[in-house]
């Protein structure tokens, strides 16, 4: 069982917080990119005839910057080359690309059954401040159009701890988006990544953000309001009605296999973690010669596999299964982390519940600090 991530690096505008691999779409060889993306799939898939793909996630960048014709070509190629007939098929989208139904209809006709829409805030001033080009009214139009076409599995993203954002302002966005009665929501705290406009402003002392206490209040508000509206937290930043959890992302958090296609994409198959060239021309050049565009392979050692099993699994409310850990690594989790788990339990950061090891509510707030403690200092064998 595996998933496939497909990267579309094109954007109409670069948001101030984004550090994903992306370029302005104007002047880019988009048709050639789509064709070579499908060629990459054709080169890879014969090597893995026994690795059925159960989820496909098309992210970016902004996949919906593609034209209807390009979207149709891409979707048909995915279906044919990946032998992907059933399962969760997600496209990321921006509200401004969904102001008409043509692209939505192409996606729906090709079996895309889940949309993840980048909303970030329902405040026009905040949207301008973070470099978004859509406005609040566009969000409502996008959701309405998606529903008209027949999409039911819709998710939106919200960001908190944004410049100029108060707790009340974030509460407003939460309440308004929950009123849309969508089955899935993601909400993230702003992270200042290198090579972003916000990071450079922070270095110059020109970026004012909410305090850590307000950030914690915002996160708690999200948890409380989502729960009150029947959207349960199944991962640190994700909430869903039962049955609408994102299956593709669950593959990541379960440390399962996934293919990565496109410029800058990562894949993880067996013990091999590979990374494609990021710059567009460096990605395209080898594919024109019918060669794979992989810049690096990393054979993941046992210790790193175990660390990632803990980091990723503990992000979920379900946590890490002791039995799955033992079956996968032929080690007992207690033999590797017994003393640490006892310490974290006494601090109220983890809970040991039967087969499951999971973060407590307090641990969810301090996730990164807890995860760091699972780094292994010494080789296991």
Give tens-digit pLDDT for 227-271.
999 999 999 999 999 999 999 999 999 999 999 999 999 999 989
Chain centre distance of CA 162: 19
**pLDDT value for 203:** 85
Look up the pTM and report it. 0.95
- Give the residue extent of every domain in the chain: 2-251, 302-372
**If you average pLDDT over residues 12-40, what whole number do you get?**
89
Report d(CA 34, CA 89) in Å as an integer: 18
pLDDT tens digits, one per residue of 175-213: 999 999 999 999 999 988 888 788 888 889 888 899 999
Distance from the first to the final alpha carbon of the chain:
28
DSSP class per residue in 11-51:
ESS--TT--SS-EESTT--HHHHHHHHHHHHHHHGGG-TT-
- pLDDT per residue over 50-103, tens digit each? 888 999 999 999 999 999 999 999 999 999 999 998 999 999 999 999 999 999
Q: What percentage of the chain reaches a pLDDT higher than 70? A: 100
pLDDT digits (tens, 9 = 90+) for 307-326: 999 999 999 999 999 999 99
CB 170 within 8 A of CB 163: no
pLDDT value of position 232 = 97
Domains 2-251 and 302-372 share a fold: no
pLDDT of residue 4: 98
Residue 338: phi and psi, rounded to 5, are -55, -50
Tell me the pLDDT band of 381, cut-offs 50, 70 and 90: low
* Pairing verdict, β 350-353 and 320-321: unpaired
Query: What is the average per-residue pLDDT within 2-24?
Result: 87
pLDDT in tens, 90-132: 999 999 999 999 999 999 999 999 999 999 999 999 999 999 9
CATH fold of the domain at 302-372: Arc Repressor Mutant, subunit A (1.10.10)
Topology of the domain comprising 2-251: TIM Barrel (3.20.20)
Backbone angles phi, psi at 296, to 5 degrees: -155, 140
Position 199 scores a pLDDT of 81
């Amino acid at each position: 069982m595996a998933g496939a991530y497909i990267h579309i690096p094109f954007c109409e505008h670069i948001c101030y917080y984004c550090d994903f691999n992306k370029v302005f779409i104007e002047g880019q060889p988009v048709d050639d990119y789509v064709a070579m993306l499908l060629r990459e799939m054709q080169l890879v898939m014969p090597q893995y005839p026994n690795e059925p793909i159960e989820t496909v996630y098309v992210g970016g960048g902004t996949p919906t910057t593609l034209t209807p014709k390009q979207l149709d070509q891409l979707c048909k190629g995915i279906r044919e080359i990946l032998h992907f007939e059933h399962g969760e098929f997600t496209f990321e989208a921006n509200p401004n690309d969904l102001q008409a139904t043509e692209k939505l209809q192409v996606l729906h006709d090709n079996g895309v059954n889940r949309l993840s829409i980048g909303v970030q805030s329902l405040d026009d001033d905040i949207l301008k401040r973070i470099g978004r080009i859509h406005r609040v009214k566009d969000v409502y139009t996008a959701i309405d159009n998606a529903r008209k076409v027949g999409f039911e599995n819709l998710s939106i993203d919200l960001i908190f701890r944004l410049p100029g954002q108060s707790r009340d302002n974030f509460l407003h966005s939460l309440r308004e988006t929950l009123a849309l009665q969508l089955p899935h929501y993601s909400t993230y705290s702003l992270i200042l990544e290198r090579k972003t406009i916000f990071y450079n402003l922070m270095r110059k002392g020109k970026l004012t953000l909410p305090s850590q206490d307000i950030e914690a209040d915002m996160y708690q508000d999200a948890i409380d309001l989502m729960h009150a509206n029947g959207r349960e937290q199944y991962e640190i930043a994700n909430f869903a009605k039962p049955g609408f959890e994102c299956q593709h992302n669950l593959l990541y958090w379960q440390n399962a296999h996934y293919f990565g296609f496109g410029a800058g994409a990562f894949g993880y198959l067996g013990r091999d973690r590979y990374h494609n060239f990021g710059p567009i021309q460096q990605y395209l050049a080898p594919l024109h010669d019918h060669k794979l565009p992989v810049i690096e392979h990393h054979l993941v050692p046992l210790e790193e596999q175990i660390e990632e099993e803990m980091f990723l699994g503990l992000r979920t409310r379900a946590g890490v299964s002791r039995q799955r850990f033992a079956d996968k690594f032929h080690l007992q989790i207690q033999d590797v982390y017994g003393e640490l788990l006892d310490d974290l339990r006494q601090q109220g950061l983890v809970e040991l519940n039967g087969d499951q090891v999971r973060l407590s509510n307090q641990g969810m707030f301090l996730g990164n600090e807890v995860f760091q403690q699972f780094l292994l200092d010494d080789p296991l064998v």
